[in-house]
Chains A and B, each alone.
Chain A
């Protein structure tokens, strides 16, 4: 089992080496990058908005119920919701959701290209398939995932505020004050650093699984499932490591 893991890890780093080769045509890679931003990033906005609004709302309801004490001002509920969304929910939960949506998309699309010989076609043309197909996906993820997470933070805060106001759980003005009180900009840096690491994990791990598919449609599906499981494990593990390193 250990030797299998080490072989996989070695293959992953060799794959990254192939991905990071010099492009044959910068212009074509850039065109592909723009397509990937649209495919992987823009198309994820509705999902991120929906999840974040309700995530913020649920967080406000749970916090308000648990801190239902006349001695605890509503401002502290606002602070708790803000920190929860900023530090954990937006970067980690959204990344886990994107691992399912974007990661499985990358893995299955590359796997399908492998089994239908489209990658061989690129290679015969003199184009490095690893680089041409994967580098724009990694680039688009690194650029757009932080944008999605920033979007998610704002939507989460909005959802939290609206839920607190509509359900009369908090005084809206006091609650809103909590959003701004003792705000630490470093937490944004921490949150976005995590997102960038998760974006790299999602795009590169799923691409590795898709790129190395052998067989047919069934194997493409299996690779996609394995990719999502591995990405989820990796995200949780790196979430702990980065939190330990950056917040201690």
Chain B
């Protein structure tokens, strides 16, 4: 379980997070949703430690991540995997080497065991053999996201973080990526946190959803329940986001 307690963050005079509490459920797909500027990216970066919050705590299975020393943080980071909005694959390395990279740094596996693990992860995200020696720039956006997922899970992390994994993808590929994240979460028992503004993802994979607006948490609950909320802010957000047929059909 990831517990967020009273997180506040300001950049200069601009308060981006205004004291947020949330419980992100273990072994589930937890979605942080909200429109642009709601603070969800700062929230996710605060949870993974890329941004140091001004106040509050992030507890990873009871361990106070925000108060940890740098050395302990580095150890704990090996339990984390992250998929970035722009995939963030290393352009100087091939697809295969990108996935192998965390193993080379932190694993005591033999070379053949590493090869097996890399092959398993790439197979799991359905990357064909023909793509292994390619440079990430030669892949489509969807394939880059899948390679990024393979790299994120190669150390078998407990926590998987995804920052807008559907960004820049067509609706069909977005669904494929969503399903992949859901499968991986449930198959490997990970605690997954996905940052998105895609209402389709909420209905497809949102085991647990947190809605943010202007730096506050507006709503928290199981994904489909958001459609039954009577809170005006939630209703407004859902209607604004109802761009997909599935959402519209569910609303009827």
Contacts and interface: CB of A to CB of B under 8 A. Distances in A.
Interface of A: 24-25, 27-28, 35, 112, 116-118, 120-121, 123-127
A120 B104 contact: no
B90 A118 contact: yes
Contacts of B91: 112, 116, 118
B50 A126 contact: no
A56 B23 CA distance: 71
A118 B105 contact: no
A85 B143 CA distance: 53
16 contacts: A28-B105, A116-B86, A117-B84, A117-B85, A117-B88, A118-B88, A118-B89, A118-B90, A120-B84, A121-B84, A123-B49, A124-B49, A124-B81, A125-B77, A125-B102, A126-B74
B75 A126 contact: yes
A127 B50 contact: no
Nearest to A116: B86
A112 B106 CA distance: 25
B75 A28 contact: no
Contact of A127 (B49, B73, B89, B105): B105
Nearest to B80: A124
A121 B104 contact: no
Given A124-B80, A126-B106, 13 more contacts: A24-B105, A25-B105, A116-B88, A116-B91, A117-B86, A120-B88, A123-B50, A124-B48, A124-B49, A124-B82, A125-B78, A125-B105, A126-B105
Contacts of B86: 116-117
A24 B77 contact: no
Contacts, number: 53
Contacts of B73: 126
B90 A24 contact: no
Nearest to A126: B77
Contacts of B84: 117, 120-121
Interface in B64-88: 73-75, 77-78, 80-82, 84-86, 88
Contacts of B104: 25, 27-28
Residue of B78, B88, B101 with most chain A CB atoms under a 10 A cut-off: B88
A124 B105 contact: no
Contacts of B85: 117
Nearest to A24: B105
B84 to A, nearest CB: 4
A126 B72 CA distance: 10
B88 A121 contact: yes
